[in-house]
């Protein structure tokens, strides 16, 4: 068994991040037990089961329970980078906390969930498909669809009686027909969008690396929204959760709208202009503001 540790920034606390990851029992991409999250992650050395816990403040312990022999340094570095991306550990969110101190909307959310980071979805295909799945349905049903999708088309590894899944690959999904997905409750349009994205990634027309080389957020948003089934909301969701732009802003998100309505005890849902007015103080931290407000609801 291999074990190593990763330091975390002073603003990071593991407990609120673990609570976020544990918010829906239908989640199939990781397993949480005894204050530890276990996940099967893709690496150049093959799919690797990792277990992450916090043995002491500002320290994460990473264990590879299924590997008994020493691993190459390159393998450990890949896992470390994945953890950094997953928990956004390279970002100093102190400025966000400073602006939240004087923001009547954000202050209670930050107080309740201090130490929470934006949990990212490092894989572009997974982020795009999760965004497509979530279009115009409630979160609970979205988790149901994702689980059905993963368990039908993904790959798995069983360790100590628990089955761990990896997200389906673009190559696998590109070979499907819409009918293959409608059998698991995808609508015809979502089926077409999902297969279309898979084909773009498989042919190399769409990649995370190519998006990261674009000059700024508007350029990436423009590139993504050219894809059938990807509107501004899905593009900003991917910018926020996968490409980790702290100024991504899915302003039309129903969760954000409901969180603001609830927090301000409004009789009607806030308009887009009202949200823009509230967000004037969030410049360059819109994604974090959105994530924390989401957390007040789920």
132 lies in a domain? yes
- Here the CATH number for the domain that contains residue 16 is 3.30.310.20
Residue 159 lies in a domain: no
My answer on whether 96 and 62 are in the same domain is: no
What pLDDT does residue 298 have? 87
Measured distance CA(257)–CA(275) in Å, rounded: 8
Please give the structure tokens belonging to residue 70.
């020493």
- Token readout for 177 is 């027909």
Same-domain check for residues 250 and 104? yes
| Rounded Cα distance, 286 and 297, in Å | 17
Predicted pLDDT of residue 136: 87
Mark whether 199 and 281 lie in a shared domain: no
Give the number of residues written for the chain: 298
Question: Which residue reads 């995808």 in tokens?
Answer: 186
Domain-embedded: residue 189 = yes
Contact predicate 178/196, CB 8 Å: no
In a domain, 163, yes or no: no
Q: Is residue 160 in a domain?
A: no
So what's the pLDDT on residue 1?
A: 65
The answer to whether position 269 is within a domain reads: yes
Residues 148 and 207 in one domain: yes
Residue 69 located in a structural domain? yes
Residue 174 domain boundaries: 124-153+168-242
Structurally, the chain folds into a number of domains equal to 3
- Same domain, yes or no: 22 and 37: yes
Say whether both 256 and 238 belong to one domain.
no
Residue with tokens 């199939």: 28
Whether residues 278 and 133 fall in one domain: no
pLDDT along the chain (298 residues), means of 10: 93 97 94 97 95 97 94 96 98 98 96 97 98 92 96 96 97 98 97 98 98 97 98 97 97 95 95 96 97 95
Reference 159, options 70, 72, 67, 23; nearest CA is 67
The domain that contains 221 carries what CATH number?
A: 1.10.340.30
Q: Residue 15: its pLDDT value, please?
A: 97
Together in a domain, 49 and 64: yes
8 and 51 housed in the same domain: yes
Question: Mind telling me the catalytic residues?
Answer: 253
Shared-domain flag, residues 207 and 230: yes
User: What's the CATH code of the domain at 100?
Assistant: 1.10.1670.40
Look at the alpha carbons of 130, 132, 133, 136 in this order and tell me if their dihedral is positive or negative: positive
Residue 161 lies in a domain: no
Verify that 32 and 82 share a domain, yes or no: yes
């Amino acid at each position: 068994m291999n074990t190593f540790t990763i330091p975390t920034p002073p603003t990071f606390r593991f407990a609120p991040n673990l609570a976020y990851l544990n918010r829906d029992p239908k989640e199939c991409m990781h397993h949480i037990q005894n204050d530890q999250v276990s996940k099967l992650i893709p690496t150049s050395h093959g799919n690797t089961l990792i277990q992450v816990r916090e043995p002491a403040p500002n320290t994460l312990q990473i264990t590879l329970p299924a590997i008994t022999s020493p691993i190459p340094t390159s393998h450990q570095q890949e896992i470390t980078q994945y953890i950094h991306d997953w928990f956004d550990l390279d970002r100093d969110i102190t400025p966000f906390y400073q602006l939240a101190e004087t923001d009547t909307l954000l202050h209670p959310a930050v107080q309740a969930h201090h130490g929470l980071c934006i949990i990212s979805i490092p894989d572009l295909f997974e982020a795009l498909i999760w965004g497509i799945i979530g279009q115009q349905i409630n979160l609970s049903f979205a988790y149901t669809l994702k689980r059905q999708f993963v368990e039908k088309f993904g790959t798995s590894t069983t360790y100590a009686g628990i089955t761990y899944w990896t997200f389906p690959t673009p190559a696998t999904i590109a070979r499907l027909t819409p009918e293959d997905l409608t059998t698991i409750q995808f609508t015809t349009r979502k089926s077409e969008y999902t297969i279309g994205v898979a084909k773009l990634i498989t042919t190399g027309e769409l990649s995370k690396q190519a998006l990261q080389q674009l000059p700024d957020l508007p350029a990436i948003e423009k590139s993504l929204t050219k894809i059938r089934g990807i509107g501004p909301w899905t593009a900003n969701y991917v910018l926020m959760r996968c490409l980790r732009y702290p100024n991504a802003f899915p302003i039309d998100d129903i969760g954000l709208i409901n969180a603001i309505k609830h927090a301000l005890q409004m009789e009607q849902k806030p308009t887009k202009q009202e949200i823009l007015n509230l967000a004037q103080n969030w410049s360059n931290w819109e994604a974090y503001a959105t994530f924390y407000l989401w957390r007040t609801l789920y």
